[in-house]
Structure 1
Amino acid sequence: MSAIVEHRRRRIRRGRLVSNILALIFALIWIFPVYWMINTSFKPPFEVTTSTPQFLPAHPTLRNYHAAIFQSNFLGDLKNSLIVVAGTLVLAISLGVLASAALSRFHFRGRRAILVFILCVQMLPSTALLIPIFLVFNELHLLGSYLGLILAYVASVLPFSIWVMRGFFLAIPYELEEAAMIDGANTRQILVRILFPLVAPGIISTSIFAFVYAWNDYLVAYTFMKTQSMYTLPVWLASFSTPTTGTDYGGQMAASVLFSLPVVIFFLIIQRNLVAGMSAGAVKG
């Protein structure tokens, strides 16, 4: 009997060892491009273009970061990105929470048709909607404005936000609302004090998606903004590669690191709140 148990333990240990090795390999494959981007950002031009790979810069320099930060349109594009991302987050999350609450907690005619329509819109690629939205916004004189770009992003983010947060609302038992109604709470109080804290993880998850989508988008920003002063950071990042001057690889890698930092910082802040939100609605026995 002991031999059988020992054999099973050995099999479990071998399985865990193989799993850990595979996980380590996949982690290295995933993290290597990030490491190479950071590594290249500190290299001078002659080290970037050398045919022999250098896994550490022999002559580290901050020249690439200086060139990226003090480029003429960096601060303006950063301001544009922050305004557009903030507007997208506020509008998408506000509308998504209210719509998902209505579609999950209230029964009305046409609810299933709305859910099917939201799912169909979510299945469409964003590029398929680019030309129709462009034509509509052109008639409404929204092109080249913050509002137009924000609404374009919200149109792409909102179906996903509604669908995800609706699942969180459906997971909340109706008994909590009934108990609150017995205690005299109205609909607004139930939403604000009971439902919203319980769906906080869903709100945070969709906010991450909305932030990353609005922050990373290049095509819509480049198409909808008419003047260079209204471009966002993804368009600024593409300016390091031009047909006439070629590609400034060191500057582009430094710009990519700067471009990625707000996403990392936002995720770290949200991750801490995500754990708090998951326990905010815990019912004490």
Structure 2
Amino acid sequence: MSTLSARPARPWPGSATSRPRPRWSPSRRRRLAADAALLLIAAAFLLPLAWLVLASIDSDATLRVSAPGSPTLDNFSAVWTDEITFTPMLNSLLLCGGATILTVACAALAAYPLSRFRSRVVRPYLLAVLFTTCLPITAIMVPVYGLFVQVDLIDTMSGTALFLAASQLPFAVWLMKNFMDGVPVILEEAAWTDGASWLQSLTRVILPLMGPGITVVMIYSFIMMWGNFFVPFMLLLSPEQLPASVSIFTFFGNYGQVVYGQLAAFSILYSTPVLLLYVLISRRLGGGFALGGAVKG
């Protein structure tokens, strides 16, 4: 007895199964469009960096991105002086470093009651603090300049550092409060049981566990102050006290003449401390909060 094998039925011409699948599906088109947009954004960031590197080793650098005919380090030799690089960089380190330490210390003290005490005014107060970060610094520089003249803080490093710290404090408080919320209150209560005061529990329990959060606040505050041009330009008058963010203006000569090669070389040197700061403490950023084993069940 023979069995007949079933043959697959051939689709009718024009049926749905005989139509070829579209080569470009909608999902693939969206993916390609997203990749193209990302490539354009990457090019927008990479082209200025490429110009910065190539122009720094080109003695005849222009605004065009082109490889130098004969690479040279003459631009770095020209700016590697006390007057152009070392003194402004030292002023920037003193100014931004002192302001960053003051900002982190004040932000920790201000974030502690906002994180630990519950009140109806905490949320409106935080929103008001966050709103102050949206105000342009140029809107208040005229009254600040008049105030600094009256209290004799104009042309002083301490007064400029104080204002830089005050301008970065609102967002630093907001960040510090959010990081402090991640530390369990039970650890602080255990410290109180052992006889610790609120200041001791803050400095010996909460802040050590907030290492990554403090690092983020410190890096953000330092970078924002390091690139600030307008505030030191307004409050510092003596040339020997100007930071690097203001002394970079000396590369722009009269009648629109700019020494692009030296400007690019100085920009690379100016960016080095920020990169070193991030590299040195980047390990703490990925560590997360060290709360493992702190709370025992």
Normalising by structure 1, we get a TM-score of: 0.83
- Write the distance in 2 (CA, Å) between the matches of 1:107 and 1:141: 40
Query: How many angstroms does 1:235 deviate by?
Result: 1.3
Q: CA 1:207–1:186 in structure 2 vs 1: closer, same or farther (change >3 Å)? A: same
Q: CA 1:80–1:54 in structure 2 vs 1: closer, same or farther (change >3 Å)? A: closer
Q: Is the 8 A contact 1:104 1:170 kept in 2?
A: yes
- Indicate yes or no: 2:293 matched with 1:283: yes
**Residue in structure 2 matching 1:79, options 90, 100, 106:** 90
Query: How many angstroms does 1:132 deviate by?
Result: 1.8
- Write the distance in 1 (CA, Å) between the matches of 2:203 and 2:82: 45
- Write the distance in 2 (CA, Å) between the matches of 1:168 and 1:279: 9
- Write the distance in 2 (CA, Å) between the matches of 1:108 and 1:42: 59
**Residue in structure 1 matching 2:263, options 249, 252, 264:** 252
Unpaired segments ≥5 residues, structure 2: 1-24
- What pairs up with 1:178-257 in 2 under 5 angstroms? 178-244=189-255, 246-257=257-268
- Write the distance in 2 (CA, Å) between the matches of 1:22 and 1:116: 34
Higher helix share: 1
**Partner residue in 2 for 1:5:** none
Unpaired segments ≥5 residues, structure 1: 1-9
Aligned residues: 271
- Write the distance in 2 (CA, Å) between the matches of 1:157 and 1:280: 27
Query: How many angstroms does 1:96 deviate by?
Result: 0.6
Query: How many angstroms does 1:27 deviate by?
Result: 2.8
Q: Is the 8 A contact 1:101 1:169 kept in 2?
A: yes
User: Alignment partner of 1:247: what SS?
Assistant: coil
**Residue in structure 1 matching 2:53, options 24, 38, 48:** 38
**Which structure has the larger Rg?**
2
Identity %: 31
> Which amino acid counterpart does residue 280 of structure 1 have in structure 2?
A
Q: Is the 8 A contact 1:208 1:267 kept in 2?
A: yes
- Write the distance in 1 (CA, Å) between the matches of 2:62 and 2:122: 58
Q: RMSD of the alignment, in Å?
A: 2.8
Q: CA 1:115–1:25 in structure 2 vs 1: closer, same or farther (change >3 Å)? A: closer
> Which amino acid counterpart does residue 293 of structure 2 have in structure 1?
V
Q: CA 1:115–1:54 in structure 2 vs 1: closer, same or farther (change >3 Å)? A: closer
- Write the distance in 2 (CA, Å) between the matches of 1:114 and 1:19: 40
